Amino acid sequence: MVENYLSLIETEIKKQRFGNQPMLLYEPIRYIMSLGGKRLRPLLTTLSYSLYKNDTEQVIPYAVAVEAFHNFTLLHDDIMDKAPLRRGKTTVHEKWNVNTAILSGDVMLVRVYEMFLGLEEIKLKEVLKIFSKCAAEVCEGQQLDMEFEIEKRVSETRYIEMIRQKTAVLLGFSLELGAILADAPVTDQKALRDFGINIGIGFQLKDDWLDIYADKKKFGKQVGGDIISNKKTFLLIKCLEKVKGKQKSELDKWLTLKKFNKAQKIKAVTSIYDSLGLSSLIERKINVFFEKGFASLNNLSNPQKTADLKEFVQKLIDREA
């Protein structure tokens, strides 16, 4: 089932031209959209729609609009992060230049709104209202993430709110969109949105854990990258709250050093995390959000039809990379 939906999504992405001239404005959009990825968000939209209707091909263009918005955020995030690679390929600002990447991102967002124009008027107004709110929250979350880089201390509450905005609300919108377009009851729309937001927070926390504790052979990128960059993940935030004495001095040393051996820093900081039981702590927190998310599905008007959706999400939860 999911493979069929993925095929429909990829076919629709290839059909989208986004624009033609100037070529250097639109080619970067087609390039980033062709780089693949899990296509998580459009699949969630399609799976949500399929809970209520069988003509899933009708929702595919709007599911692809969600994927286009997601890739727009990645395009601009890569500029801010000065990232050289995206999905193993050269990022747009590196392949072309920063100014082109900014403009391509801008027009990409415009095209996303245009992609929703095929909706009937009553649904169009509703969708654009919640999409605009979601898009603003994604930007707010990204801003908070950047601000956290220069703040000495960030609370767990603020961190969870940041990842809710930056990552999770778009998963919630993806599921809510499918429900709206399938004429699902309003209570179901909310339940699916809540499901998406909670699993989205869980996914980000799982990413925090994987960055430190993933199997190096399966991870696909350097284990400990967050430690190297002093990124304020859930693990570092809780470590700063709990660490004392000699371990605090040790942690402070590694956080302030400008030149260091990467492997030594990863080993030293991970050792502190281990001594404080932070791996178990974050795993419990991850499970809280996943369990809360799945509990939302029990509020649906027809919860017994959610097998495909649950199976798809569970596979993502169980991933090791």
Mean pLDDT (the chain, rounded): 93
Please give the pLDDT value at position 222.
61
209-267 pLDDT tens trace: 999 998 766 655 567 889 998 999 999 999 999 999 999 999 999 999 999 999 999 99
Convert the pLDDT of each residue in 296-308 to its tens digit.
Answer: 999 999 888 899 9
Quick one: tokens of 315? Answer: 């596979």
- Closest alpha carbon to 41 in 18, 86, 73: 73
Candidates 195, 152, 162, 153; CA nearest to 176 is: 195
Question: What is the pLDDT, as a whole number, of residue 152?
Answer: 87
Q: CA–CA separation, 49 vs 26, rounded Å?
A: 30
For residues 138-153, average pLDDT: 94
Buried b (16+ CB within 10 A) or exposed e, 51-71: bbeeebeebbbbbbbbbbbbb
DSSP assignment, residue 145?
H
Structure confidence at residue 81 (pLDDT):
83
**What pLDDT does 136 receive?**
98
58 pLDDT tier (thresholds 50, 70, 90):
very high
Q: Specify the pTM.
A: 0.93
pLDDT for 88: 80
Across the range 77-81, mean pLDDT stands at 90
Which residues have CB under 8 Å from 117's CB, separation 6+?
Answer: 124
Give the sign of the dihedral formed by CA 278, CA 254, CA 158, CA 213: negative
- Where do the domains of the chain lie? 2-208+300-317
The radius of gyration of the chain's CA atoms, rounded to the nearest angstrom, is 21
What CATH topology corresponds to 2-208+300-317?
Answer: Farnesyl Diphosphate Synthase (1.10.600)
3-state DSSP call for residue 90? Answer: strand
pLDDT band of residue 83 (cuts 50, 70, 90) is: confident
